[in-house]
Amino acid sequence: MQKHMNRMTALALVIAVMLLAACKKTHGTQDTEHPAEVKKVEGTELSRVTLSEKAMQRIDLKTDLVREQRVSRSASPQKVVPYSSLIYDPQGQCWIYTCPQPRTFVRHKVEVDYIEGDLAVLKDGPPIGTVIASVGVAELYGTEFKVGH
């Protein structure tokens, strides 16, 4: 009987070791790509945020252009951006994120004249034709300032 108990104990230990080994993390299969890289833009207080392709997909980031468009309050075309591209900092300054290279974004200060529907009419901002983030702007801001990390 004692021999049988020793065998059962040994078998239980072997099974426990095998189960624990199955729970071990394997470093070779982990995704080591960082979702974003943030680097200071030399000579400024701004940062350049570069996202991985996977991060772009996860936050469903979309881009648009700074456009010139007729709006109801003006007879001449005005510089406009999607309202969704705006973000305000804690000091009340208004910003958009320009996209100078694919997957790379830099905050750019803008001055909004007024909002018309889903457009922001700008008094001052980047040149017409500049690529900007229009969806995922809050996520870019959070990444730049490490909000939620």
Domain boundaries, the chain: 31-144
Q: What tens digit of pLDDT does each residue of 108-141 get?
A: 999 999 999 999 999 999 999 999 999 999 999 9
pTM score, whole prediction: 0.78
Classify residue 56 by its DSSP letter.
Answer: H
The reply to whether CATH 3.40.50.720 applies to domain 31-144 is no
Judge residue 59's burial from the number of C-beta atoms within 10 Å of its C-beta, 0-12 exposed, 13-18 middle, 19 or more buried: buried
> Whole-number mean pLDDT of the chain?
89
Write the CA distances from 122 to 109, 111, 118, 141, integer angstroms. 11, 6, 13, 20
What average pLDDT score do residues 73-92 get? 96
